[in-house]
Amino acid sequence: MPAALYAEIERFIPGTAQEAADRETLLGLIGQYGLHILDRDCEAGHITCSGFILSPDMQQTLMAYHLVYQSVGWTGGHADGDPDLLGVAMREAKEETSVTKLWPLSRRILSIDALPVPAHEKRGMPVAEHIHYNVTYGLIAPVDQPVRDKPDENRSVRWLSTEEIAGCCTEPHMLPVYDKIIERMRRLAAEKAEIPAQMLTPLLDWYPAHHRALPWRETADPYRVWVSEIMLQQTRVEAVKGYYARFLEALPDVQALAECPEDHLLKLWEGLGYYNRVRNMQKAARIVTEQYGGTFPQNYAEIRALPGIGDYTAGAVCSLCFGLPTPAVDGNVLRVLARLQEDFRNVLDPKVKAEMTAQLAAVYPQADCAMLTQALMEIGATVCVPNGAPDCGSCPLQDICMANAAHSERMLPVREKKTARRTEQRTVFVMECEGKIAIRKRPSKGLLASLWELPNVEGMLTPEEAIAQCSKWHTRPQALEKTVERRHIFTHITWEMTGVFLRCAAMPEGFVWADAADLQETYSLPTAFRCVLE
């Protein structure tokens, strides 16, 4: 017996006696015929998969006039051996209507119906009457996208208000099926909307006994919280701890940050990457010093207006330090909400993020804002984790998690595929003379702007070409000592690097010549170049 298909059908909870009977019949057929029940030539009938498409406001449905049935109806088609029933329903919906933006309301099956199919012709061939054991899923599609017919199967693909279905459908036996599915989809959407309020009590009860002890959680000082939040962007918690302590020891308050020389500031940040983060921090610190007398502003709009502070950081500082009901929605929180509500929309869409933020803001408790913000961060980081199976058995929200109930947690959140990184080849020069190596400043704009670098050129140079390049720089290369191959990955670019180590006899102007102590204490080399030296 195909266990996964059987379990998928068995999880469906019938809403009527007829559905219960149809489900039991289908389970029996799966036990008898196995995966053959997915094929059109199964003599007992076969599985088909339908997608009932509603607009996001649940007021319109996308239907097509089907030539076989001579009636307006839902989208769907034969499983044809594919046990991914939801995938079949979505594929058929896209093929029949041409919509490209479409997502499931839930992975759960909304209806199972044994539907008789009259004898008909398809592509000139006779098809005998038979039974479709139809499995239905609810799908959502925005109305502002083009649709078109699939001429060999349907015509007149169009949006109808849900009230118009009865006047357009010439199959009376299908109207109760459509009505129950619309009602179930609307009820499911209403249940999703209640989740944010339902999670508060179990989450707040869970946090005190289960949170990690982290140094930035021991303070409500907005400067220190702000520093931690900026450091934690794009960086793992364990890696941040040491940087956080070292940074605050050197720059204990806003004024110290505002007055710090840039080279020293970049040195403190060395290894964390994304150097514009710390440059923007200094810009913000100077504004706080000059416009607010060194006291951090205490409302969302003023904090959000500071350089380098986005919605998430402003929400975190306001809720953690000033007790304001301002959600801090990052990837962890989006993942938790997407799974709790079984939301298959793209969480990288700014509109989706804004809607989830508004949902949280509407239920934020006045008394426990800081704890709720921390609890959402913590459960996303330690329980409802990315890149693997969430620890649902330890989750205080398991009982209200729709993804857990529908077994869709590994499918969520949906993140649209990133644009492929561009790969660049570079030759990086380690030119040594009298125990010092050549470094220089990068341009003031672009990647790694204004940071120190090892001299480099685009392309992979041969040893002869590398020596010729050094000669153009007037370093008088004497010997090529070795080469190394390194790779460094940025957000949108990958550098494939050949590091060329050359002993030179001259230290011309145009470079700064630094010894090991200088590189350790004074000049901040980004990791992209340090990895060549290492």
CATH number of the domain within which 376 lies: 1.10.340.30
Q: Per the domain annotation, does 416 fall within a domain?
A: no
**What secondary structure letter does DSSP report for 354?**
H
Residue-level pLDDT at 418: 64
Q: What is the pLDDT, as a whole number, of residue 145?
A: 93
Burial class from Cβ neighbours inside 10 Å (0-12, 13-18, 19+) for residue 487 reads exposed
Among 1-15, 65-79, 90-104, 367-381, where is mean pLDDT lowest?
65-79
Mean pLDDT of 470-478: 94
Are 480 and 342 members of one domain? no
For every residue of 372-387, which 3-state class applies, written as one string?
Answer: HHHHHHHHHHHCCCCC
Alpha-carbon distances of 457 from 219, 278, 453, 465, 495, rounded to whole Å: 46, 27, 11, 11, 12
Domain that holds residue 439: 422-533
Q: From the candidates 8, 96, 229, 409, give the one annotated as an active-site residue.
A: 229
Do 348 and 288 belong together in one domain? yes
Q: If pLDDT is split at 50, 70 and 90, which confidence band does 126 have? A: low
- Range with the poorest average pLDDT among 123-132, 256-265, 267-276: 123-132
Say yes or no to pLDDT of 127 above 70.
Answer: no
Residue 137 maps to a domain: yes
- Does position 423 have pLDDT exceeding 80, yes or no? yes
Q: Verify that 450 and 330 share a domain, yes or no.
A: no
pLDDT tier at 70 (50, 70, 90 boundaries)? Answer: confident
pTM of whole model > 0.85?
no
Quote the pLDDT of residue 122: 61
Residue where a domain terminates, one of 366, 382, 411: 411
For residues 524 and 348, the model is more confident at 348
Q: Are residues 395 and 438 in the same domain?
A: no
CATH at residue 496: 3.90.79.10
170 and 234 share a domain?
no
> Are the CB atoms for 484 and 454 separated by under 8 Å?
no
Pair 240, 163 in one domain: no
Q: What's residue 164's pLDDT? A: 93
Query: At 341, which amino acid appears?
Result: Q
More confident residue, 522 or 182: 182
Domain boundary among 392, 411, 430: 411
Maximum mean pLDDT: which of 53-57, 262-266, 275-279: 53-57
Residue 490 lies in a domain: yes
Contact between 55 and 143 under an 8 Å Cβ cutoff? The reply is yes
Indicate if 379 and 443 belong to the same structural domain: no
pLDDT band at residue 123 under the 50/70/90 scheme: low
Give the pLDDT band of residue 500 (cuts 50, 70, 90). very high
* pLDDT of 299 higher than 70: yes
Residue 229 lies in a domain: yes
Query: How many domains, the chain?
Result: 3
* Residue 430 and residue 385 share a domain: no
Where does the pLDDT of residue 119 fall: very low under 50, low under 70, confident under 90, or very high at 90 and above?
low
Rounded distance between C-alpha atoms, residue 320 and residue 370, angstroms: 4
Looking at the domain assignment, is residue 417 inside a domain?
Answer: no
- The H-or-E segment that residue 62 falls in is strand 60-66
Angle between helix 262-269 and helix 276-291 axes, rounded to 10 deg: 130
Give the mean pLDDT of 254-260: 96
| Overall average pLDDT of the 216-231 stretch | 95
User: Which positions ≥6 away from 67 have C-beta within 8 Å?
Assistant: 153, 154, 155
Q: Are residues 401 and 440 in the same domain?
A: no
Angular region, 86: left φ>0, alpha ψ -120 to 50, beta rest: alpha
**Three-state DSSP state, 119:** coil
| 207 and 157 within one domain | no
What separation in angstroms does the CA of 239 have from each of 162, 228, 236, 255, 264?
Answer: 54, 12, 5, 26, 20
Q: Decide if 191 is catalytic.
A: no
Whether residue 68 has pLDDT greater than 80: no
Q: For the residues 112-132, what does the mean pLDDT come to?
A: 74
DSSP code string of 174-201: GHHHHHHHHHHHHHHHHHHHHHHHHTHH
C-beta separation of 204 from 371 below 8 A = yes
Helix (H, G, I), strand (E, B) or coil at 155: strand
